[in-house]
Structure 1
């Protein structure tokens, strides 16, 4: 049975979107992309990292995917890719929320982008 695993993706520029991450990871055919997010601060500025959640069949597939995707190029950005630590996305969202005046962080998911374009 497939397991949903979060992958940290970092070292990209502010113009990269959740949809860009999803498209990039779909090129590899690792498994079904369940979600993709870019972390933004309260001012709507990208923090230049995000997370992609992928359904994997086993742990060996996860390690192979991370190794294959790490240091790949996305629109001129050499990506840092690794398996996210448990709770890392939640902590990243909280940290971004605590920057500046404490306004809520905006998380843009790939499905939201697709809906807006329709």
Structure 2
């Protein structure tokens, strides 16, 4: 399994913030900031759209770095991903991600590193 699977099972390599960062794509940053600001009713600016991946060292979006309850929980429990957590099946926090993106659960179940 790829090392770019987030704690929640989402594929960081498919995230627009990650793509904008690794490709230094200002147009994608602007597009993503506008969309995320509308979806979250929050002041998200293009300069906020920088991330090298959830589980790797480097820059993260403010949300992922500071506010993501899933990331904070996984780091506290010292699990590689939520797939390594014994509470995965009953966890409501990661359950919200999985219910909206079934591929995330497949990624978590296939995660071995």
Q: Which structure carries more helix by proportion?
A: 2
TM over 0.5: no
Scaled by the length of structure 1, the TM-score of the pair is 0.27
Pick the structure with more strand per residue. Answer: 1
**Structure 2 length normalisation: TM-score?**
0.28
